[in-house]
Amino acid sequence: MNAIIHHIPDELLIAYANGTLGQAYSLVVAAHVSMCDESRARLGAHQAVGGALLENAGTETVSDRARAAVFDRLDMPVKEAPPIRASGIFPEPVMEALGGLPPRWKPLGLGVRQMILNHDAEGSARLLYIPGGQAVPDHGHNGLELTLVLQGAFRDETGRFGVGDVEVADGDLEHEPIAEEGEACICLAATDAALRFRSLVPRLLQPIFRI
């Protein structure tokens, strides 16, 4: 496997650390950090800044009642759901989003498949399966698109993306990612608004496919 060269930019790591990043993007960040020691270390550095700010922060008195309530609960047994573990090419946070089950793919045509993992007002995260040599149709973005490669590789106008790499495409980029020949390229992609595909799925059908 090639080394990861495309990482999560710092401003996204900070937003993730702070918790202001939407659910779909947070999933991509958590998945990438699971695969990438460098980004894990950088996230750790940002959390250190957050911790330092917390230590310097102004205080508010916590009531004795609240303090006592916590101490009352220290010895209470906790029942925890069994953890969902990483499986195959899918890191833990992705398996978590899959509910511990293998992906249930929906065909998009030309061998391309997808599975929506989550979809809310802020954006959507999905898994994409692109057969080797196949292009993801030319599309523009309304907002930020993060694409993390889990298997195989793709190329577009901006470079090559292998396993663990993240492409950060903003609203201005119109690109046509092409999966490399060989094994299918499987990606985790997050967008904050519907992608505008120029072909493959007619615009009218997009709400049905939710892409």
89 binds, among other proteins, Zn ion, none (CB under 5 to 8 A by kind): none
Q: How far is CA 183 from CA 89, 130, 132, 150, in A?
A: 13, 9, 5, 12
- The label of the residue with tokens 């609960």 reads 73
134 binds, among other proteins, Zn ion, none (CB under 5 to 8 A by kind): none
Q: How far apart are CA 203 and CA 83, in angstroms?
A: 40
Choose between 19 and 202: whose C-beta lies nearer to other proteins.
Answer: 19
- Indicate which single residue of 5, 48, 89, 205 sits in contact with other proteins (rule: CB under 8 A): 48
Is the alpha carbon torsion for 149, 153, 158, 159 positive or negative? Answer: positive
Looking at residues 33 to 72 of the shown chain, list those that interact with Zn ion (rule: CB under 5 A).
36, 38-39
- Indicate which single residue of 56, 202, 204, 208 sits in contact with other proteins (rule: CB under 8 A): 56
144 binds, among Zn ion, other proteins, none (CB under 5 to 8 A by kind): other proteins
Virtual torsion, Cα 204, 27, 23, 105, nearest 10 deg: 30
- Indicate which single residue of 1, 3, 64, 74 sits in contact with other proteins (rule: CB under 8 A): 74
Q: How far apart are CA 42 and CA 33, in angstroms?
A: 9
Q: How far apart are CA 53 and CA 5, in angstroms?
A: 31
What is the per-residue binding string for other proteins in 149-188, x denoting contact by CB under 8 A?
A: ----------------------------------------
Closest to 136 (Cα-Cα) out of 168, 114, 163, 164: 114
Q: How far is CA 23 from CA 116, 117, 132, 148, in A?
A: 13, 11, 29, 15
Residues of this chain that bind other proteins (CB under 8 A): 10-12, 14-15, 17-20, 22-23, 26-27, 29-31, 33-34, 40, 43-44, 46-63, 66-67, 69-71, 73-74, 78, 86, 91-93, 96-97, 121-122, 143-144, 192
Residues of this chain that bind Zn ion (CB under 5 A): 7, 36, 38-39, 145, 169
